[in-house]
């Protein structure tokens, strides 16, 4: 695990740079994307680079980590979020959200070259909440209460965060060739410390990343404050 402690704007630039280099080098790049507040700055950098002609996504395929189930309104879907924050602004070849046989589909497309991750306050990655099996593939998961509270900020007019989602499993994520995890802010510090220094244990799903051969963790000083 390589850990970089940097300012938020430098993290966004560096991480976007990692994706741009991959995409400019590889014939058929496959990238793994996340939703939430954390990756928005990276997506803005990617859109800027595309508009300047520094990168084209025309041969790139993306796989998102997760998608809500049982939504009352499509506008809250992670598909809508991704379209608005990235996909509608670039020339990407194909962009997938989790479905049945997602692991087979990822494999058929050559596997994920770089997977982008955020982390939840309870140590979740994607919707793999504490207690999730390290051997899990893409599956339907219950969203933990703490995560539903945290994600309520994206919902309006009394609409509630769903209780279930479809998510890449921990093994799905571990199959990625490279992983980049980003975290900002003091409220992530405890999860970040457990992920990096804690035992590899189901109580902190992100701790499994200690076993991956090519992981980079980009955190700001606040998220690093308990290291
Ligand atoms: C999103 C995802 C989640 C988030 C995590 C952090 O696709 O899989 O694990 O990365 O909940 O969310 P933010 O970035 O909003 O703090």
DSSP class per residue in 134-195: TT--SEEEEPPHHHHHHHGGG--TT----SEEEE--HHHHHTSSEEEEEE-SGGGHHHHHHH
| Per-residue pLDDT at 83 | 98
Q: Express each pLDDT in 12-27 by its tens digit.
A: 999 999 999 999 999 9
Ligand 1: which atom is nearest the Cα of residue 151? 15
Mean pLDDT rounded to a whole number for the chain: 98
For 82, the token pair is 């991704």
| Per-residue pLDDT at 122 | 97
Q: What's the gap in Å between 81 CA and the centre of ligand 1?
A: 12
User: What pTM, to 2 d.p., does this model score?
Assistant: 0.98
Select from 142, 182, 190 the least CA-distant residue to 11: 182
The best mutation among 31, 33, 36, 162 to test binding of ligand 1, ranked by most ligand atoms within 8 Å of the C-beta, falls on 36
| Per-residue pLDDT at 126 | 98
Q: Express each pLDDT in 209-221 by its tens digit.
A: 999 999 999 999 9
Quick check: helix, strand or coil at residue 11?
Answer: helix
Q: What is the rounded distance in angstroms from the CA atom of residue 95 to the CA atom of residue 26?
A: 17
Instruction: Please compute, for residue 91, the number of CA atoms within 13 A of its CA located in the half-sphere on the CB side.
Output: 12
| Per-residue pLDDT at 153 | 95
């Amino acid at each position: 695990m390589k850990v970089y402690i940097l300012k938020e704007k430098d993290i966004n630039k560096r991480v976007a740079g990692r994706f741009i280099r991959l995409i400019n080098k590889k014939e058929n790049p496959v990238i793994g994307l996340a939703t939430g507040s954390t990756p928005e700055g990276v997506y803005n950098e990617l859109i800027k680079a595309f508009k300047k002609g520094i990168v084209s996504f025309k041969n790139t395929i993306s796989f998102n980590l997760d998608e809500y189930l049982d939504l009352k309104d499509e506008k809250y879907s992670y598909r809508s979020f991704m379209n608005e924050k990235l996909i509608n602004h670039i020339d990407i070849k194909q962009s997938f959200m989790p479905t049945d046989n997602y692991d087979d589909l990822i494999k058929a497309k050559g596997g994920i070259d770089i997977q982008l991750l955020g982390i939840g306050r309870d140590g979740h990655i994607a919707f793999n909440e504490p207690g999730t099996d390290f051997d899990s593939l893409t599956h339907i998961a219950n969203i933990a209460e703490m995560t539903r509270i945290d994600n309520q900020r994206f919902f309006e007019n009394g609409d509630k965060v769903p209780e279930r989602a479809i998510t890449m499993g921990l093994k799905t994520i571990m199959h990625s060739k490279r992983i980049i995890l980003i975290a900002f802010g003091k409220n992530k510090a405890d999860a970040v410390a457990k992920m990096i220094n804690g035992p590899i244990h189901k109580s902190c799903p992100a701790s499994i990343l200690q076993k991956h051969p090519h992981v980079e963790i980009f955190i700001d000083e606040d998220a690093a404050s308990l290291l």
